[in-house]
Amino acid sequence: MARKHYALEYREQIFALVTSGRSITSVAKEFGLADHTVRNWLKEAQEGPLGWPERPRY
């Protein structure tokens, strides 16, 4: 199964919801994401600026 790629704006929206006080589980469920995906995005954001580079699409 191919790996999904999400736009920076989408990831920023998820990040904002979680950092505003919503639980990772509730946000993940609302957007149809796995909890670990949201956790990974939060971890990446904490390690550096929110400007995650877009990956090239093949």
Which amino acid is residue 25, in one-letter code?
T
**Among the listed residues 6, 13, 37, the one whose alpha carbon sits nearest the alpha carbon of residue 22:** 13
By the 8 A CB rule, do 24 and 18 touch? Answer: yes
By the 8 A CB rule, do 18 and 38 touch? Answer: yes
In tens, the pLDDT along 2-58 reads 677 888 889 989 999 999 999 999 999 999 999 999 999 888 888 776 555 555 544
**Among the listed residues 9, 17, 12, 21, the one whose alpha carbon sits nearest the alpha carbon of residue 44:** 12
Per-residue confidence (pLDDT) for residue 26, from 0 to 100: 98
Q: pTM, whole model, 2 decimals?
A: 0.74
Domain coordinates of the chain in residue numbers? 8-47
Per-residue confidence (pLDDT) for residue 58, from 0 to 100: 44
Token pair recorded at residue 1: 């199964």
